Amino acid sequence: MMEYWKRSISELHALLAEGTLSARALTEYFLERIGRLDTQYGAYITVCTEEALAAADRADGMLKAGKGTLLTGIPLAVKDNISTEGIRTTCASKMLADYVPPYDATVIRLLKEQGAVLLGKTNMDEFAMGGASQTSYFGGVKNPWDPTRVPGGSSGGSAAAVAAGLCVAALGSDTGGSIRQPSAFCGVTGIKPTYGAVSRYGLIAFASSLDQIGVLAKSAADCETVLAAIALPDENDGSMLPQALQLPGEARPLSGMTVGVPAEFMGEGTAQEVKDAVEDGLSAFTHMGARVKPVSLPGLRFAVSAYYLISSAEASSNLARYDGVKFGYRSRKGDTYDELIKNTRSEGFGTEVKRRILLGNYALCSGFYDAYYGRASRIRDQLKAEYAGLFTHCDLLITPTAPTAAYTIGAQEDDPVRMYLADVCTVTANLAGLPALNTICGYTAQGLPVGMSLVGRPGDDGLLLNCAKAFEAVFPRREALA
Ligand code: GLN
């Protein structure tokens, strides 16, 4: 049997286009793998067997008619906070456990137009709040490299599905690192595009000024193929960039490029094994002709505080809509409207979501507004300015993606402060709206993948993908499964 799960999108496309493989057979192949393997990982919340097979048949029709594109018939997975018409979309919450959206998110519409096949909806932290994918109402996700470890989060189901070969590529969302950090923990590539490059219409909101849909896949090349299909203007999202991304990006050689390495990311809090792997990655960039130089991002020490204030403030407002009236879970207890809301929200949300709603409401209280939200916004502006300064003399920056490799399930998820601090490497790109990509740069002594992040100027997603493709061509990547 061909190991289709190890193949790139372009290899699969070649087989589909020449007719040696049908989209239906490829879809059945992945559905069989999900049925056989996913009980070990819990990567999917919903598997859409019937819809996937119907989509595969439509894709075969497109291919026969010569109307296929690179994504026609390619089986993909989608994080369960992206709305899919007729397919339940839960945000891994009891609140939306039975919610079936009446419309498709723009990214889903665009993928369907290309004839891509949606295999199912992937598991995540409840409402995308978390970094370990253990707060799901449907149970936690396990890392395919070692099922006693977390896959990272919040897009842990998408990352685990890619790593275990339970889809070809997957969509995730990233508010403070939720695509990059699970990509690092699961040994795959993941890109959070520039803010405004991909429509958020139909993405169930966590923190609207930070949320961005992106791609997780086996390689930067596959990420680029999927991103090119979804990074298109959409009048339903007023926060989009005026121009579509240039993908593939201009092919610039690495020689002559300047890579900045902000020293603050490589300090005490970062594990030695991670620093070593990132140093190896940087040496590869030097070998390919890039100039690597130390730089500084002093605002980093305030970044986690600013991120948690701003994201929780926005979340408290975005999640106010779950009142038990319009959609989602409704408590059976309570005689008045106020009691209905209180009981619905008490029963429907998990602990971490409630913690953020409380934090966000507190920060937005009149009287506190300037002391908390106002200061956090000023830190955000300062970070943007510091990045803009660095990009006057650097083409891109490289940092670790996370301070450690994947840790054991239960090791730190109950300690919010430890969990929040672990986001230090990723949140600044969201606060500044920058594109950021995780690629794998080494393995720990225990054989766990280590990720490094490439961060670029707004709109330089294509440049990051090109650099990552060049790096991935020389880096020997391992598979999670044999
Ligand atoms: N771990 C971060 C948080 O808990 C990021 C989450 C995300 O990007 N969705 O908020």
CA of 455 to the centre of ligand 1 (A): 18
Is the CB of residue 130 below 6 angstroms from any atom belonging to ligand 1? yes
The atom number, within ligand 1, closest to the CA of 311 reads 10
As a whole number of angstroms, the distance between CA 480 and CA 482 comes to 7
Taking phi over 0 as left and psi of -120 to 50 as alpha, with beta for the rest, 360 belongs to alpha
Is the CB of residue 352 below 6 angstroms from any atom belonging to ligand 1? no
Q: Which residues contact 318 (CB under 8 A, 6 or more apart)?
A: 205, 206, 207, 208
Q: Shortest CA distance to 152 belongs to which of 184, 188, 193?
A: 184
Q: List the catalytic residues.
A: 79, 154, 178
CA of 290 to the centre of ligand 1 (A): 32
Is the CB of residue 128 below 6 angstroms from any atom belonging to ligand 1? yes
Is the CB of residue 175 below 6 angstroms from any atom belonging to ligand 1? yes
As a whole number of angstroms, the distance between CA 355 and CA 470 comes to 42
The atom number, within ligand 1, closest to the CA of 210 reads 8
The protein residue whose alpha carbon is closest to atom 5 in ligand 1 is 176
CA of 199 to the centre of ligand 1 (A): 19
> How does residue 413 score in pLDDT terms, banded at 50, 70 and 90?
confident
Is the CB of residue 131 below 6 angstroms from any atom belonging to ligand 1? yes
pLDDT surpassing 90 at residue 294 = yes
What is the reported pLDDT for 59? 98
**Residue 36 CB burial class (10 angstroms; 0-12, 13-18, ≥19):** exposed
Place of tokens 């949606």: 118
Contacts 24+ apart (CB under 8 A), 351-356: 351/135, 352/125, 352/126, 352/129, 352/130, 352/135, 352/416, 353/93, 353/126, 353/127, 353/129, 353/135, 353/315, 353/319, 355/416, 356/129, 356/311, 356/312, 356/315, 356/316
Pocket test for ligand 1, best of 123, 125, 418 (most atoms within 8 A of CB): 125
Is the CB of residue 402 below 6 angstroms from any atom belonging to ligand 1? no
Instruction: Say if domain 1-482 classifies as CATH 3.90.1300.10.
Output: yes
pLDDT surpassing 80 at residue 1 = no
What is the tens place of the pLDDT at every residue in 43-88?
A: 999 999 999 999 999 999 999 999 999 999 999 999 999 999 999 9
As a whole number of angstroms, the distance between CA 281 and CA 286 comes to 9
3-state class (DSSP) for residue 56: helix
Is the CB of residue 154 below 6 angstroms from any atom belonging to ligand 1? yes
Is the CB of residue 315 below 6 angstroms from any atom belonging to ligand 1? no
CA of 338 to the centre of ligand 1 (A): 30
Q: What is the mean pLDDT of residues 451-463?
A: 98
Average pLDDT value over all residues in the chain: 97
CA of 174 to the centre of ligand 1 (A): 7
Maximum pairwise Cα distance, the chain: 70
Q: What is the mean pLDDT of residues 142-155?
A: 98
Is the CB of residue 177 below 6 angstroms from any atom belonging to ligand 1? yes
What is the reported pLDDT for 369? 86
- Partners of residue 170 on adjacent β-strands: 77, 216
Yes or no: say if 184 and 438 are a contact pair by the CB < 8 Å rule: yes
Q: Shortest CA distance to 302 belongs to which of 379, 359, 232, 247?
A: 379
Question: What is the length of the chain?
Answer: 482
pLDDT surpassing 90 at residue 249 = no
Instruction: State which amino acid sits at residue 337.
Output: Y
What is the reported pLDDT for 26? 98
What is the reported pLDDT for 327? 85
As a whole number of angstroms, the distance between CA 128 and CA 89 comes to 13
3-state class (DSSP) for residue 2: coil
Q: Which residues contact 14 (CB under 8 A, 6 or more apart)?
A: none
Yes or no: say if 410 and 147 are a contact pair by the CB < 8 Å rule: no
Pocket test for ligand 1, best of 171, 191, 216, 311 (most atoms within 8 A of CB): 311
Name the least confident of 202-216, 359-373, 451-465: 359-373
Residue ranges covered by each domain of the chain? 1-482
Stated pTM of the model: 0.98
What is the tens place of the pLDDT at every residue in 190-238?
A: 999 999 999 999 999 999 999 999 999 999 999 999 999 999 999 999 9
As a whole number of angstroms, the distance between CA 79 and CA 197 comes to 18
The protein residue whose alpha carbon is closest to atom 10 in ligand 1 is 129
CA of 177 to the centre of ligand 1 (A): 6
3-state class (DSSP) for residue 183: helix
Yes or no: say if 76 and 303 are a contact pair by the CB < 8 Å rule: no
CA of 20 to the centre of ligand 1 (A): 42
Place of tokens 């966000």: 360
Pocket test for ligand 1, best of 80, 136, 154, 183 (most atoms within 8 A of CB): 154
The protein residue whose alpha carbon is closest to atom 4 in ligand 1 is 130
As a whole number of angstroms, the distance between CA 113 and CA 111 comes to 5
The atom number, within ligand 1, closest to the CA of 423 reads 1
Residue 288 is given by DSSP the state T
Is the CB of residue 172 below 6 angstroms from any atom belonging to ligand 1? no
CA of 26 to the centre of ligand 1 (A): 33
Is the CB of residue 453 below 6 angstroms from any atom belonging to ligand 1? no
pLDDT surpassing 90 at residue 250 = no
Place of tokens 């396990």: 142
